[in-house]
């Protein structure tokens, strides 16, 4: 979907759901990482993360658009447009708009690799997420020298 198709979709959604026109610019912004979209106060434009459509489909995209249009119309009218405002929450309910966007990235934690070090004297093992300079540090138990063990996967 291109920016002009997004513009048309937002204008159509604004007319059908809110009964008011959307008179400003709508565009995709692929630099958005943690949010589905945002309403720009300065120029009244709406930016949408293209991952919303790619990951979750058209239904979620329309939900994000309705959410951003709530900000837009309330701000234009001079009413409470922020997430914590009663006007905003009321309009979200009236238009069946989502309060939050579904996550755009997988929430699975990456498998963390550890560096394993071993004391040459007492053979105490150390597990570290960050690499350490073995010339700089000694064993905390016996003050022996430390060697790095190969990472096994």
Domain ranges of the chain: 3-94, 115-149
Helix, strand or coil for residue 123? Answer: coil
Q: Are strands 26-28 and 125-128 parallel, antiparallel or unpaired?
A: unpaired
* Active-site residue, 94 included: no
In tens digits, the chain (153 residues) has pLDDT values of 788 999 999 999 999 999 999 999 999 999 998 899 999 999 999 999 999 999 999 999 999 999 999 999 999 999 999 999 999 999 999 999 999 888 887 554 445 678 999 999 999 999 998 999 999 999 999 999 999 998 764
Q: Which of these is catalytic: 11, 47, 60, 68?
A: 68
| Residue 26: its H or E element | strand 26-28
Cβ atoms of 58 and 86 within 8 Å: the answer is: no
- H/E segment holding residue 38: strand 37-39
Instruction: Pick the closest to residue 97 from 143, 42, 36, 29 (CA basis).
Output: 36
Q: Write out the CATH class of domain 3-94.
A: alpha beta
Which two three-digit tokens encode residue 71? 């900000």
Stated as kind and residue range, the H or E segment containing 93 is helix 86-94
């Amino acid at each position: 979907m291109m920016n002009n198709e997004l513009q048309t979709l937002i204008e159509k959604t604004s007319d059908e759901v809110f009964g008011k026109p959307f008179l400003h610019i709508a565009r995709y912004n692929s630099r958005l990482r943690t949010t589905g979209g945002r309403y720009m106060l300065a120029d009244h434009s709406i930016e949408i993360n293209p991952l919303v459509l790619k990951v979750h489909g058209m239904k979620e995209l329309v939900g994000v658009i309705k959410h951003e249009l709530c900000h837009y119309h309330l701000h234009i009218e001079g009413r409470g447009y922020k997430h914590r405002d009663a006007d905003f929450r009321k309009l979200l309910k009236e238009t069946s708009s989502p309060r939050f966007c579904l996550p755009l990235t997988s929430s699975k934690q990456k498998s963390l690799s550890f560096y394993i070090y071993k004391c040459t004297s007492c053979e105490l093992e150390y597990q570290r997420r960050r690499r350490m300079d073995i010339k700089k540090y000694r064993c905390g138990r016996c003050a022996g020298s430390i060697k790095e063990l190969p990472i096994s996967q």
